[in-house]
Structure 1
Amino acid sequence: MTTPRDAPASRRTRANGDGTVYQRKDSRWEAAGYVLAPGNTRKRIHVYGTTRKEALAKLTEKIANSNRGLPAPSAQGSLAAHLTYWLENVAVHQLRENTHTRYTACVNRHLIPGLGKKKLTKLTAKDVRTWLNQLRTTCQCCMRGLDARRDQPRCCASGQCCRKLLSPLTLTYIHSVLKSALEHAVREEEIPRNVARNVRTGTPRPRRFEPLTADEARQFLTTTNEHRLHALFELALHTGLRKGELLGLRWEDLYLDTGTATVRRTLQRTTAGGLTTLPTKTRASERRIALPTRCLHSLKHHHEQQKREHEAAGTTWQNSGHVFTTAQGGPIDPTNLTRTFTTLLRKAGLRRIRFHDLRHSTATLLLEQGVELVVIKELLGHAHIGVTATVYAHVRLRLQRDAIDILGNALDNPAGHEPTDDDPPLCGVTVR
């Protein structure tokens, strides 16, 4: 008597829940079975193969994933459709406006042209890695068609590629945007896993900055002494506040009697609202800091100067409440502040740096004076002390080298000093 186990594989009766496998009229094999679906429901899926073994293996993998609690993908559209949906319906409510604008530019400029036609459920880690490698080595001037839109081509169209490649930091940013978009698809159970997380882009080198030395900082403050915004530049160098945090300060945030200030908001220019007051960059950025005595004197002098400007402006005065304003009382545009800062650097005879480098100058000078890293972290408003340690690693390395040199000098015998009979003898101490 022939048992089901002895029967051929093609005729063997499958157990309940194992699905069915059969051959189609076009000679392909089709396997169907029930798997876990989003919403804790079950649905019937169909997989195909050129042989019975191939179709059965695909079905077995789907059922195994279902048994582990992974729902079957529900997305049917392309990656471009998902990215558009994510930007318009999800990210717009979670990101600051300027961050959302950068994400949108990244998606439209790189992600959709490169991977947009891929099906969301068919995207693999190999696809992402291959595309990133291509992006890393391809001239962006030619990939984005910039050369084709010129009146006179001067890149690949003329046979002379400019090799305008993306920086490692930009590649990491593009990769992080893709990971964020796919992570939302995982949370909505449209795909079982985030394949972009399995791709390693490497850790880019931190952006190099050139902070001011102590002599250069003094020279810069001397040049700004007669400027109407001298208090702003002095506060920036002494406290390390960001540009938006300085421009977002209100008089109600300053406590000149106790010598403290509370950082609650930041001033930014957005595409939709123009100059807008927003919350601080992170929760840790909302902080209370101590004000140096020099800054207290400068702020009191600035307050008196602002009163005189108010009287001179008369009815045209804009009572914005900000500490640092224009001559008419309105908020200062960050771009105009950068332009003023560059002019003052040129007047002082200093090299051109970014305004944000004043913040780096504060941290560097504090480190060189032996201030603890945790104090600098609280002053700058970093979310984690690891951020402070990473950004200023080169400064800590230089301080370590100086400390090692000091120790080496202490261990060496001073010049001209020879041991005498009056010197106490070296002795061993018993350690318990």
Structure 2
Amino acid sequence: MTTTPRPASSRRARSRANGDGTVYQRKDGRWEAAGYVLAPGNTRRRIRVYGTTRKEALAKLTEKIAASNLGLPVAAADSTVSTYLTYWLNGVAVHQIRENTHTRYAACVRLHLIPGLGAKKLARLTARDVRTFLDGLRTTCQCCAQKRDSARRHCCAIGHCCGTTLSPLTVTYVHSVLKSALEHAVREEELPRNVARNVKTTVPRPRRFQPLTAPEARRLLQTASSNRLHALYELALRTGLRRGELLGLHWEDLDLDGGTASIHRSLQRTRTDGLAVLHTKTRASERRIALPTECIHSLKSHRERHQEERQAAGIGWTDSGLVFTTPTGRPLDPANLTRRFGRLLDRAGLRRIRFHDLRHSTATLLLEQGVDLVVIKELLGHAHIGATAGVYAHVRLRLQRQAIDTLSNALRDGHPPSTA
């Protein structure tokens, strides 16, 4: 009697090491992988994941087993929202987002999501639960909710409600973090749908900013002309570079003869590494920009001063390769730059604005000069032109009114309109 050999896939599944789980193809054509992982309550449970290919199913199982081996309970639909958020935050999101973003996510989960929804079962979470939770965030005093009003160092009103509620922007951010976590549960087939996506929140009004006018910008540059960081302020106002992009700029990124700069790094302060030069946040932020003539001149002067400071520092010099540094070559702290900028505004007799408002000033002045929105998008490094158009909608509206008035004057042919 002849025997039919088992498929190669079955032989591979049997040859997997103990604890790696099993992988096999189902009758419906999908691939199923099963294995034991750490579950809430320090127990072990057998889980099953699925994929359209053997490789996909195996990758899903390997990811869960790896998290389990690190001591992270693998949440399932029968676990609580708190357990799943902890698993997602420390086992998934930590590998996909930047450290500072992960820190904000963790604060959001700890302060709002776990206290508000943590006790509910993940599989029983409904859109109504999410909507009720978000409505509560909008109306509940956070000092009372987090018991911060028991000590004056945390709250200004001891024993009394100060009525400190979250801003609409923060509520929207909490909602987006929850949507991201539940979306991963859907991808892992722990949930059939993302109930948080069924909850519509009001779009918060964009933060108001007051960019510098052309006369104010000229006064700022004139005041900064004798400043050690004059070239930095020139770049910030004439090109719209972000603070981190300016501080993360290396000399090798500049082509002063060709008049260009390559933007692909950003200096950030992180909790673990302190000041660190990282990649820009998005691929759209990686860009090559043309340098204005004024910036080329100021950067050449800055390079000469940089060399003088290097010689003066001697063995105390730190060769970081950065364009803008301390007098000893070390990276500039973003918070220190913000304080220096505030003092510069005071010396110039200008109103206090954020450093980021220099970027808004660049875009606003370019729009007012009739520069195309696509060009501004590429200069600023926005991922989508909708972001550029949305932020500066008020400027475009003002320009529309000026255009309409110009047309009206042309149609009047120099004569005032009739009052008949």
Q: CA deviation at 1:277?
A: 0.7
Q: Where do 5+ consecutive residues of structure 1 fail to align?
A: 1-35, 43-72, 417-432
The residue that corresponds to 2:142 in the other structure is 140
Per-residue Cα deviation, 1:50-107 (whole angstroms, up to 9, x for no partner): xxxxxxxxxxxxxxxxxxxxxxx95221000000001111000000000000000000
The residue that corresponds to 2:69 in the other structure is none
Q: Is the 8 A contact 1:206 1:391 kept in 2?
A: yes
Q: Is the 8 A contact 1:245 1:267 kept in 2?
A: yes
Q: Is the 8 A contact 1:74 1:189 kept in 2?
A: no
The residue that corresponds to 2:126 in the other structure is 124
Judged with a 3 Å threshold, the aligned counterparts in structure 2 of structure 1 residues 153 and 311 are, in CA distance, closer, same or farther, namely closer
Q: Which amino acid aligns with 1:173?
A: Y
* Count of residues in Structure 1 that have an aligned counterpart in Structure 2: 349
Q: Which amino acid aligns with 2:197?
A: R
Q: Which amino acid aligns with 1:269?
A: R
Q: Distance in 2 between matches of 1:166 and 1:151?
A: 19
**TM-score (norm: length of structure 1):** 0.78
Query: The residue matched to 2:262 in structure 1 has which SS?
Result: strand
Describe how 1:204-353 pairs up with structure 2 within 5 A.
204-353=204-353
The residue that corresponds to 1:169 in the other structure is 169
Q: Which amino acid aligns with 1:353?
A: I
Q: Which amino acid aligns with 1:136?
A: R
Q: Distance in 2 between matches of 1:41 and 1:222?
A: 67
The residue that corresponds to 1:87 in the other structure is 89
Q: CA deviation at 1:386?
A: 0.6
The residue that corresponds to 1:108 in the other structure is 110
Q: Is the 8 A contact 2:253 2:262 kept in 1?
A: yes
Per-residue Cα deviation, 1:274-330 (whole angstroms, up to 9, x for no partner): 010100121011000000000000000000000100111011000100011100011
Q: CA deviation at 1:148?
A: 2.1
Judged with a 3 Å threshold, the aligned counterparts in structure 2 of structure 1 residues 309 and 407 are, in CA distance, closer, same or farther, namely same
Q: Where do 5+ consecutive residues of structure 2 fail to align?
A: 1-27, 35-74
Per-residue Cα deviation, 1:148-198 (whole angstroms, up to 9, x for no partner): 23489864833xx32211111111000000000001111111111110000
Q: Is the 8 A contact 1:148 1:157 kept in 2?
A: yes
Q: Which amino acid aligns with 2:326?
A: T
Taking only the aligned residue pairs, the percentage that are identical comes to 68
Q: Distance in 1 between matches of 2:396 and 2:242?
A: 22
Q: Is the 8 A contact 2:284 2:382 kept in 1?
A: yes
Q: Is the 8 A contact 1:142 1:155 kept in 2?
A: no
Judged with a 3 Å threshold, the aligned counterparts in structure 2 of structure 1 residues 138 and 156 are, in CA distance, closer, same or farther, namely farther
Q: Is the 8 A contact 2:183 2:194 kept in 1?
A: yes
Q: Distance in 2 between matches of 1:313 and 1:109?
A: 46
Q: CA deviation at 1:139?
A: 1.0
Q: Distance in 2 between matches of 1:204 and 1:95?
A: 24
The residue that corresponds to 2:12 in the other structure is none
Q: CA deviation at 1:361?
A: 0.3
Judged with a 3 Å threshold, the aligned counterparts in structure 2 of structure 1 residues 350 and 90 are, in CA distance, closer, same or farther, namely same
Q: CA deviation at 1:140?
A: 1.0
Judged with a 3 Å threshold, the aligned counterparts in structure 2 of structure 1 residues 340 and 77 are, in CA distance, closer, same or farther, namely same
Detail structure 1 runs of 4+ shifted over 3 Å in the superposition: 38-42, 149-156
